[in-house]
Structure 1
Amino acid sequence: MSKKLILLLLILPLVSAFSQEQSLKAQLISTQKIEADTFVGFDGMENLYYIKNNIFFKKHKEELWQYKNLSLGKITKVEIQNPMKIVLFYENFNTIVTLDNQLSETQKINFSENNTPILAVATGIASQNRLWIYNSLSQQIGLFDYLKNTYQSITPSFQGNLKYYSSDFNTFQWIDDKLNWYSCDVFGKVSTLGKVTDFDQIQVIANQVLVFSKDGKLHLQDLSKNSIYTIENVEKSFKNFYYKDQILSIFTNQEIINYKITIP
């Protein structure tokens, strides 16, 4: 037997073991009954946010607040990154509503009334009194100053549709319909982060790390390590999930189940 063949036989089992999907065990923490259609998430003050009958709710123990504006149609997206300035996006009416921590309306912005033509399909809160906007008319990402009521595109036009997006104060991230993952900073610099696995639902949770579901199973993908982990010991039947501060919350029709997850 040649030395090359012997070396190949030694390497193959290692390659096979490396390519196998790894597992990540979740630890059950608590459960909480809830009547909702969609669970939005929670903040650092243990407030829960959810949608029921197209009404937005905030709950803290026995206290409950709500915001209802049925004239704007379905709530498309909720941004709770800043609990003092919550952003509701009503895509069908090209409108954003901002709320304070009591869910009182503080501002309503109809992008159709702006001097610059805007048809928003993605929104999020950015730094310095601005909102992230993906304008489908120009196929560009821009920043909207909600105090000055001005809009500025910061990227060139790009092809493809947004399959998923998320944002924080400094970056806007999106995955296109070809599963390419990109990031844009407030200066308009666009970075390619890699290609993700196909998913049904997904959430970016850290730099190049995301949690996604596919065919009823939950996984964690770390592009920096080229690794995918199957999350075990979690509820198999769920409507959606939310991850924050090492807590994975799984929402079923009747309850929220919280698990502790440690990213490898």
Structure 2
Amino acid sequence: MKYLILCLFLCCSLFSFGQKTISATLQQQDSLSVDQFVAMDNFGASYVIQDNILIKKKDNKKWQYNNFQMGTITSVDILNPLKITLFYGDFNTVIILDNTLNEIKRIDFNIIGSFKNLAAATTATDRNLWVFDTNTQQLEVFNYVQEKTPIQNLPIPEKFITQKSNYNYCRVLTETTLYTYNIYGSLLTQQELTGVTDFSMTNTEVIFVKDQRLYYTFEEDVYLINLPSDRIAIKQFSLHDDILYIYDGIVLYQFQLKKPTKE
């Protein structure tokens, strides 16, 4: 029911953003000098990228994965920390890593039966990926064991920006629209919007960044996240267990969001 309400909201205009606010209380801030903060996983491990090396840290332990021959890391999806999805766009290749960053599976989309030129690849259900094929401008669910595409959606006509997913849903952001699909291939919503450059999501929540300001969706409403300082540059951000992580290139901030309650 909550997801249905969110879907109804997503059909509304982005112009209503910022009419309401929610507070974000600073819980912790730590100096961090990396190229990219990826996210925190369900087990309290942090993931970053430095010098094109994926680094995982937990307590006093550290793991690394690098594959320089594959070019630059395009994206890392840690939805399932036991099967991390690592995408190298330059070589059109996805690598699945285990929880110690050892390679489990490599999928070279240049040599599979039906060639796909990927813009993105993220985690879906077990043995499946959400992939966006620029040849067809379609979002697909791809089974990387069988190397088959059981689910394929209609083409998306706008320029692709990014996609985020979990086991149940995938959202595709273009220059003009945010599309939401379920794992069965159904298009649930398409929201017209402009100026949004990135987002983070759970099943029922979406956080957008627009003009260096963050917005949080809650049921029918969108709330501007009221940060303690307007001097925090938003380089990367993610939402995990009600904790909002923001990395500005120098400091990693952790904020506790005070979610609104339905009156």
State TM-score, norm by structure 1. Answer: 0.85
Structure with more contact order per residue of length (Cα contacts < 8 Å, sep ≥ 6): 2
The offset of 1:78, in angstroms, is 0.5
In structure 2, the CA distance between the partners of 1:249 and 1:128, relative to structure 1 (3 Å rule), is closer
2:222 corresponds to which residue?
227
Q: 1:198 and 2:212 equivalent?
A: no
Is the partner of 2:146 in helix, strand or coil? coil
Query: Retained in 2: the 8 A contact 1:21–1:230?
Result: no
Structure 1 residues 121-140: aligned runs within 5 Å: 121-140=119-138
The offset of 1:69, in angstroms, is 0.4
Is the partner of 2:254 in helix, strand or coil? strand
Structure 1 residues 141-156: aligned runs within 5 Å: 141-156=139-154
Aligned-partner Cα distance in 1 for 2:29–2:60? 16
1:244 corresponds to which residue?
240
Q: How many equivalent residue pairs?
A: 244
The offset of 1:164, in angstroms, is 2.6
1:157 corresponds to which residue?
155
C-alpha root-mean-square deviation of aligned residues, in Å? Answer: 2.1
2:25 corresponds to which residue?
27
State TM-score, norm by structure 2. Answer: 0.85
List structure 1 runs of 4+ shifted beyond 3 angstroms.
none
2:51 corresponds to which residue?
53
Aligned-partner Cα distance in 2 for 1:44–1:221? 22
Structure 1 residues 28-107: aligned runs within 5 Å: 28-107=26-105
1:186 corresponds to which residue?
183
Gaps of 5+ in 2: 1-15
In structure 2, the CA distance between the partners of 1:229 and 1:20, relative to structure 1 (3 Å rule), is closer
The AA in structure 2 aligned to 1:246 is: D
The offset of 1:197, in angstroms, is 5.6
1:6 corresponds to which residue?
none
The offset of 1:153, in angstroms, is 4.6
In structure 2, the CA distance between the partners of 1:201 and 1:187, relative to structure 1 (3 Å rule), is closer
Query: Retained in 2: the 8 A contact 1:26–1:232?
Result: yes
The AA in structure 1 aligned to 2:120 is: A
Q: Which moved more, 1:51-60 or 1:155-164?
A: 155-164
Q: Which moved more, 1:144-153 or 1:66-75?
A: 144-153
Deviations 1:150-201, CA, capped at 9 Å, x for gaps: 23452122311222311111222112211x2211222221122433462233
Query: Retained in 2: the 8 A contact 1:24–1:231?
Result: yes
2:9 corresponds to which residue?
none
In structure 2, the CA distance between the partners of 1:132 and 1:20, relative to structure 1 (3 Å rule), is closer
Match of 1:211 among 202, 207, 212: 207
In structure 2, the CA distance between the partners of 1:206 and 1:153, relative to structure 1 (3 Å rule), is closer
Query: Retained in 2: the 8 A contact 1:217–1:236?
Result: no
Q: Alignment identity in percent?
A: 26
The offset of 1:75, in angstroms, is 0.7
In structure 2, the CA distance between the partners of 1:129 and 1:21, relative to structure 1 (3 Å rule), is same
Greater CA radius of gyration, 1 or 2? Answer: 1
Aligned-partner Cα distance in 2 for 1:161–1:123? 16
The AA in structure 1 aligned to 2:162 is: Y
Gaps of 5+ in 1: 1-17
The AA in structure 1 aligned to 2:157 is: Q
Aligned-partner Cα distance in 1 for 2:17–2:146? 52
The offset of 1:136, in angstroms, is 1.2
Query: Retained in 2: the 8 A contact 1:143–1:151?
Result: yes
